Chain A
């Protein structure tokens, strides 16, 4: 088994220390950071994402794999930054203004990072202006919004309105999620996509940036 295959396999098993060690070893052996990232870390997380989507594994397995992925990323990040290696895309995410429910949003962030996206997590209680400004400043292609209360869902429409006002609608795409939301609601407010969970969010964001 090549070292990249080993990284991928250990990541899938959620062995964070092994992933950290192997990533250091791969760097020391002179493998290209992009290759370690794509074939080792993201490669492993892609398998995890697919297995989760197909209900072959469950959330606990995903969480351990994600923690292992971060162990590898911690080793790799300085090199990726130094070499200016692009990510799969940039996504700004947050829980909308008035809402503090962030566990779902955090899970979505973990999954998107695992799929190789750069995620700018604005946290919770995020105003429409902060969403749009962060997307403008970072050059993100997608804004991902989460809401768990019916009373905070309208904020999503305000974000889309602000994008329109600034002439960014279409350039910056939007994906929404959260328990009370639906495909229908996404259509009504003009969001580009609705995702029902983290694995689905990866598919939706890939389609939007692809």
Chain B
């Protein structure tokens, strides 16, 4: 199968386990800015607070995800959005080369926000900041869980159809390909050598409105197509999603190389993190790399 399916846009909810979106201590600590917790004078008192924040997160978070496949043509129209994208964007070049596209939205729900408001009102600032960090991280992990689910679906579908992963060498039966690129050096070598019967790696990466030249107003078209309201996410006129700890975008699946781009677009000059570099590195290595 080459190119995203024609019979696209049948959204389905993705189950997300709370443990999958519960960030580890280091990830929460990192959100506290330079120095994190380790650098702080009061470092010794924070391990307990982080544990408490993680406990509160598990109690109040209700992760939900939504996924809908979309064809290249449908996505091309959707990507136009309100016409405010940068003239040239990485995603604009990447999606036409994709083998699979799926719109997604994910949230960790409104419960955490109520807990946060209470903590701030009670002047429990340390816990409030930690819970907020856990929730931000959780929303991102929920997005990642949906992307991972899509990749697993694609891999399973190919095994069923007797195709090798990546779609290029259709018809080549290859059991055990669910994790082609991941950690399997033998497979990676085989991919590098190429040749018939080679398992073709499938790499899925998220791209979101508001990043890398995809104007945030693109949320309008995305919401019209995906309808994340069905998992409790609404869009405000300002393009902000409610609950706040939510993410949206498109999962792009294909050969890892399609995700490679140079950060030389005009808007890259304003980017403070250039996090795309790390994501591209990861996707080339392991087939998933977070959001761009």
Contacts and interface: CB of A to CB of B under 8 A. Distances in A.
A70 interface: yes
Interface string B37-50: 10111110110000
Contact of A67 (B40, B46, B124): B124
Nearest to A147: B238
Nearest to B237: A98
Contact of B42 (A61, A149, A150): A61
A100 B236 CA distance: 10
Contact of B126 (A67, A100, A149, A152): A67
Contact of B240 (A70, A107, A149): A149
A52 to B, nearest CB: 10
Contacts of B22: none
A14 B44 CA distance: 12
A58 B35 contact: yes
Given A67-B124, A70-B123, A101-B244, A60 B43 contact: yes
A110 interface: yes
Interface string B207-251: 000100000110000000000000000001111101010000000
Given A58-B34, A61-B42, A149-B216, A106 B239 contact: no
B144 interface: no
Given A149-B239, A151-B238, A61 B129 contact: no
Interface string A100-112: 1101001100100
B33 interface: yes
B69 interface: no
Interface residues of A, number: 26
Interface residues of B, number: 31
Contact of A63 (B126, B216, B237): B126
A63 B242 contact: no
A93 interface: no
A123 B37 CA distance: 27
A81 interface: no
B41 A67 contact: no
Interface of B: 32-37, 39-43, 45-46, 120, 123-126, 128-129, 132, 210, 216-217, 236-240, 242, 244
24 contacts: A55-B34, A57-B40, A58-B34, A58-B36, A58-B41, A59-B33, A59-B40, A59-B129, A60-B40, A60-B42, A60-B126, A67-B124, A67-B126, A98-B237, A98-B238, A98-B240, A99-B238, A100-B244, A101-B244, A103-B129, A106-B128, A149-B240, A150-B216, A151-B239
